Structure 1
């Protein structure tokens, strides 16, 4: 299978809503399908539970022989993710990547990282220090950040509000996805502002 054929097949799989895994990625509308927006549901039983974390994904031309480039756009308090830039420290996104891995397995690995941080190999030294020295404070801070920055949005509710303004469902959904569910930005686009 050609690299582009594989990417198309992967995008079809990872683009479907999968309530079991809680990971998803879709191509950015208007892009060449190498720029993706991913989401990861915070794992149950962690301080990230109830959050939906957004990730920018860039697929290099050499994919699947090079890993996708990923970075959190949702602020998160985690030792292996920069609280400032969203940069991720995860071996499969660097030197442990294998062409047998997929975009979905990379997202699932990020989700697993939320369950099992690796403070001995941190991306954010301040967060790692707190994780090691004061676990309760770490968990309280991570939960606060999840509640503040990653609360799940009800996509259908937002789509319905925009439909009530006279727009069709497909236009509303496309505008919302383009603007990462920023309702006012989507409405402004639909109004031609």
Structure 2
């Protein structure tokens, strides 16, 4: 890794570790395999959002051209959010693309991602299915996001009715991940989910 990138990341890593603001927001960062180009981030779901109580792991890959190019970040923890792919964890956030500036830091990125969880941008989605649900069936979106937070991120609100429907599909031979994803995309309508899978 280029020397300038390594020095910069080391400095920023310390900044994140020592920052009171970051600690208050329950954000963490760790090295992967003692490499300064591969980091693992962790952000807590913000209060008063469907993600509250969940902890979301992030993969952060720092390019050799850092800080002139943004780090590549994706969610390792599955999440139901219009700007994050429910399948791959890819993120749609302007500062990770064309709005990146060399003055930005890992701290900026982590705090911005946490802010994104509190303020989705459904008109600029990464996941069109989630964005449509967010706009058309907002209450179902909220309960689905809470449920995914409980299932995948250790959150408190696992919804029994949703679990029962997942179990019904598993009993039909569908794997759990597919069952949950298809039910979520079909607003938890078991009949429509079944048709989607078996048609």
Looking at structure 2, the residues matched to 23 and 125 of structure 1 have their Cα atoms a distance apart, in angstroms, of 28
Residue correspondence of structure 1 range 31-180 to structure 2 within 5 A = 31-151=34-154
Looking at structure 2, the residues matched to 32 and 72 of structure 1 have their Cα atoms a distance apart, in angstroms, of 19
For structure 2, the 5+ residue unaligned runs are 156-199
Q: What is the DSSP-based 3-state SS (H/G/I as helix, E as strand, rest coil) of the residue aligned with 2:13?
A: helix
CA contact (8 A) 1:16 1:24 kept: no
CA contact (8 A) 2:6 2:36 kept: no
User: How many residues matched?
Assistant: 151
CA contact (8 A) 1:35 1:57 kept: yes
Looking at structure 2, the residues matched to 98 and 109 of structure 1 have their Cα atoms a distance apart, in angstroms, of 14
Name whichever structure is richer in helix by fraction: 2
For structure 1, the 5+ residue unaligned runs are 153-193
CA contact (8 A) 1:27 1:37 kept: yes
CA contact (8 A) 1:15 1:25 kept: yes
TM value normalised by structure 2: 0.72
TM value normalised by structure 1: 0.75
